[in-house]
Amino acid sequence: MRQGPVGRAVAERLWVFGCTVVRLARTPRTTAEGAVHGAEALHGLLPAVDAVVLCAPATDRTCAMFDARSLALLPDGAIVVNVGRGELVDTDALTSEVASGRLLTALDVTDPEPLPAGHPLWQLPGALLTPHVGAFTDAFEDASRDFLRRQPRRYAEGVPLENTVLSSPGR
């Protein structure tokens, strides 16, 4: 399994700032950039990291990989960033950790998505929510062209638009 384009882009940006990047994938290996730990090492690595950036797909093995147990292993003040899939994180467990002030989070994706209007994450000072815009990768240009071909036609024909997102409370 090779490192995906989003994970690679995140690592490259962090390396520029002198960050130590600890990479994790399904299977361990060594690359030109260094070690990639296997998934079985996750819990052993968490106590020593300041930030987690989730870029994984949603699979049977990754769904809720950041549950209450995993989140509890992170040090106080750590930040959980999810640009992968909302299902990677147990939203209730993360909400509890952020509400307590122990962890911070930045979420481009949530479970459920969209996050309901009354959900506590909208108001928590330690939470930053973005409108699922982490998709600005090499694939974005093609996806944008496809979107611009289909949506105006649907609008003109009075057909419901695809992939609409409800706005957050008070906006």
List the catalytic residue out of 8, 26, 102, 113: 113
Total-model pTM: 0.77
Mean pLDDT for the stretch of residues 145-153: 81
List the catalytic residue out of 8, 26, 132, 150: 132
Residues 6+ apart with CB under 8 A from 61: 26, 39
Candidate from 28-32, 77-81, 134-138, 157-161 with smallest mean pLDDT: 134-138
C-alpha distances out from residue 16 to 19, 54, 134, 153, Å: 7, 19, 20, 43
Whether residue 46 is predicted with pLDDT greater than 90 in this model: the reply is: yes
Determine whether 157 is an active site residue.
no
Mean pLDDT for the stretch of residues 42-47: 98
List the catalytic residue out of 23, 85, 87, 119: 85
Whether residue 166 is predicted with pLDDT greater than 90 in this model: the reply is: no
